[in-house]
Structure 1
Amino acid sequence: MTESNITRLLRGDEGEVLHAYQDHLGFWTIGVGILIDKRKGGGITPEESAYLLSNRIMGKSIELDNRLPWWSKLDDARRGVLLSMAFQMGVDGLLGFKNTLTMVERGDYAGAAIGMLNSLWAKQTPERSARMAEQMRTGEWKYKAGT
């Protein structure tokens, strides 16, 4: 049995849906018949979660390379802030921070941090935005407590 044969067989029988959906029995499923419904013992493995996260980080990084070419010149911690924001809000959401991004691009990290904290995003996710603003200001990684 080759991988391409079983993949073709399963895609044909299971179909492929790229978002969570309820199967014919009402259990949450994703992809090619991957049961994720906890009620039926479903979920993903830590390895699958790590793969998905890595894949999404790479995709967001490529999108930021294309849409904010200057971001690659930032230090790792400040690139991490922009990537975290893009991960949370999407790249289009991040691009809505026009004044803040202008300050980041010209190296006014303290001003950018203030801009971040004066946003609706900061009101919606105060703990995360406070950490990200401090990371932007200092250039030092700020992780959530306990991680």
Structure 2
Amino acid sequence: MSSITQLIAYEEGWRSKPYYCSEGYPTIGFGFRVGPQSAPLNQYQFTLPRVAGEAWLQAYLEMLKDSMEGYSDIQAALAQCNEARASVLYSMAYQMGVSGLTQFKKALHAIQRNHWLDAKNEMLDSRWARQTPNRAQRHADQIQSGLWFSGYSDTV
């Protein structure tokens, strides 16, 4: 499993059976939304094998990376990032969508200028950080330090 998939696996967790995410959407695997908000879970009568979930995750991450290439602010930020920092941006896009990541204009501009503390502070001054404070803190710390959070390697 690559470092970015370890990060996603840690942050999203794994469930082989459908469940409701925090926003009320039927979800499975590594946080894959499978239905509309509040749809009854009994409509999703399947189990996702982990190996299939890992393949799905890899395919989705490739699609996500391709989508992120269409945004100059994201590309300029990624160009300044080592793997640990870039993985945070991929994780944020995974969680919020690429359009959600584009809303972090000040953070992306701080990353482009290698102003890591400013980027961290901008990330933490957001609705995202209020909704998922632990994840946001881990990600903001990783952006600032450029070092991997040690817990990610425990998910394999």
TM-score by length of 2: 0.66
Give aligned-pair identity as a percent. 30
Highest CA radius of gyration, 1 or 2? 1
Q: Counterpart of 1:111?
A: 118
Equivalent of 1:132 in 111, 135, 139: 139
Q: Name 1:52's counterpart in structure 2.
A: 56
Root-mean-square deviation (Å): 2.2
Aligned partners of 1:141, 1:87: CA distance in 2, in Å? 18
Are 2:108 and 1:101 aligned? yes
1:80 aligns with 2:87: yes
Cα deviation, residue 65, structure 1: 1.8
**What secondary structure sits across from 2:55 in the alignment?**
helix
Greater RCO, 1 or 2 (C-alpha within 8 Å, sep 6+): 2
- The letter of the residue matching 1:58 is E
Q: Deviations over 1:65-88 (max 9, x none)?
A: 221322442210111111000000
Q: Which amino acid aligns with 1:28?
A: Q
- Which of 63, 67, 75 is the equivalent residue of 1:69? 75
The worse-fitting range, judged by mean Cα deviation, of 65-74 and 95-104 is: 65-74
Partners of 2:56 and 2:127 in 1: how far apart? 28
Change (3 A) 1:27 1:126: closer
Q: Which runs of 5+ in 2 are unaligned?
A: 1-33
What is the match of residue 141 of structure 1?
148
* Secondary structure class of the residue paired with 2:59: helix
Q: Does residue 28 of structure 1 match 2:32?
A: no
1:4 is matched with none
Say whether the 8 Å CA contact 2:116–2:144 is kept in structure 1.
Answer: yes
